[in-house]
Structure 1
Amino acid sequence: MAATQRPGQLVSPDPRLIDRLLSVMEDEIVPLTSREVVKGNKLFGAAMLNKKDLSTIIAGTNQETLNPLFHAEVQTINSYYNLKSEQHVAPKEVLFLATHEPCTLCSSAITWAGFDNFYYFFSHEDSRDSFQIGHDLNILKEVFKHDPGEYARANNYWTGYSICDLIDNCDSSDKYSFNQRATSLRGTYQKLSSQYQKSKGQSCDPAYIPLN
């Protein structure tokens, strides 16, 4: 079937992959994030999967109250390198999952760590409009002069894939069930967002953590 795609973004729907990405968010990332938003950490999460069998290598979540650089992707990469060496998988054999489209800090970390891909569920616009966290787009605009969606999601280092775009291009039988799960995840993250908005700044130093 013909696949629609955003500029610079490759779309290749694979129901098994989409099912696994949604399951990791539902069962592994959300519980971690739920424990951290009450501490004032943002609702962003990440995971690394083995491309060979889609097994989880490690999952993580935002921990900016410990260090302002500990965004979910960065924290997950740090935790990966704290694993025993026998648990390591070569970066090119890793599928990188981010609940939210990586910011410039996190996409740079993904680049320098040698990963050649990332998959994300919520877009930068979702972070701004649904979760009142607009730093990603603000930095892209102020520092790099990019409007929303104008950075290269396909480049010599990696390709960024929207899970929602993949769902949109599935066959109708798979698309229906995936959209139901996507809707449920959006509801879950709205609840996490409400919790974050209530608790941000209560247990962290506002000089370090942006409070919106």
Structure 2
Amino acid sequence: MTDTGLADRLLSAIEDHVLPLTRQGVAQGNKIFGAAVLRKSDGSVVLAATNNETDNPLWHGEVHLLKLLHEMDDPPPPAHLIFLSTHEPCSMCLSAITWAGFDNFFDFFTHEDSRDSFAIPHDLKILKEVFTLEPGGYRRRNAYWQARSVAEVIAGADPSARPALHQRAAAIAAEYGRLSEQYQAGKADNDIPLN
């Protein structure tokens, strides 16, 4: 799949699958993080999920997705799937993606976005305090997987497709901004650790 097609499929997965679940999750007091798995063959969405920390503090969007994926009757093997995370995965989610056997992941927002735009600094704090890593200090290409940002994929798309892709990405970012405000306004009402 070209970067043009991949960018379209990744954005569609967020727009049509992850965001609707995240709206529901935020309304229940959960953070804004979500994830989806898509088939490498055609970019179709197999499954999407969102953060479900109000049920279990370990159910970050990515980990909750992996739980649901492994509860499916006959899930596709990770080697056949693209892993999409709305936000650059925290250290727990990075490990879960690795242990689940994925050779890739894509993220829409960065750790710095989570800290600066969404007032959720824990990913970078944990990487610094536990692993002594500065922002961007882990290897996005390693023996287990290769990570790319959705922005990088859009940058590699056909120049004629980029304006529409950027417009869609901006609309997604604006919606996450609204959801973040909703989460921040109500987070004192839940007992999520590190809210």
Would you say same fold, with TM above 0.5? yes
| Identical pairs, percent | 50
Point out the structure with the larger helix share: 2
What is the match of residue 158 of structure 1?
Answer: 145
Q: Does 1:59 align with 2:43?
A: no
Count of equivalent residues: 195
What is the match of residue 122 of structure 1?
Answer: 109
Q: Could you tell me whether the CA contact under 8 Å between 1:63 and 1:71 is conserved in 2?
A: yes
Return the alpha-carbon distance in structure 1 between the equivalents of residues 143 and 43 of structure 2: 24
Q: Give the C-alpha shift of residue 100 in structure 1.
A: 0.4
What is the match of residue 168 of structure 1?
Answer: 155
Could you list the per-position Cα deviations for residues 106-139 of structure 1 after superposition, in whole angstroms to 9, with x for gaps in the alignment? 0000000101000010000000000000101011
Q: Give the C-alpha shift of residue 171 in structure 1.
A: 3.2
Q: Could you tell me whether the CA contact under 8 Å between 2:6 and 2:153 is conserved in 1?
A: no
Q: Give the C-alpha shift of residue 13 in structure 1.
A: 6.0
Q: Could you tell me whether the CA contact under 8 Å between 1:13 and 1:166 is conserved in 2?
A: no
Q: Which has the larger displacement, 162-171 or 47-56?
A: 162-171
What is the match of residue 75 of structure 1?
Answer: 64
Structure 1: 5+ residue stretches without partners: 1-11
Q: Could you tell me whether the CA contact under 8 Å between 2:86 and 2:109 is conserved in 1?
A: yes
CA distance 1:13–1:101, shift in 2 (3 Å): farther
Amino acid at match of 1:84: D
Could you list the per-position Cα deviations for residues 71-108 of structure 1 after superposition, in whole angstroms to 9, with x for gaps in the alignment? 000000000111112xx111111100000000100000
What is the match of residue 94 of structure 1?
Answer: 81
What is the match of residue 3 of structure 1?
Answer: none
Q: Does 1:209 align with 2:184?
A: no
Structure 2: 5+ residue stretches without partners: none
SS in structure 1 at match of 2:161: helix
Amino acid at match of 2:65: T
Amino acid at match of 1:101: E
Return the alpha-carbon distance in structure 2 between the equivalents of residues 144 and 13 of structure 1: 35
SS in structure 2 at match of 1:149: coil
Q: Give the C-alpha shift of residue 39 in structure 1.
A: 1.6
Return the alpha-carbon distance in structure 1 between the equivalents of residues 15 and 108 of structure 2: 12
Q: Could you tell me whether the CA contact under 8 Å between 2:25 and 2:52 is conserved in 1?
A: yes
**TM-score, length-scaled by structure 1:** 0.89
Compute the RMSD of aligned alpha carbons.
1.3
**TM-score, length-scaled by structure 2:** 0.96
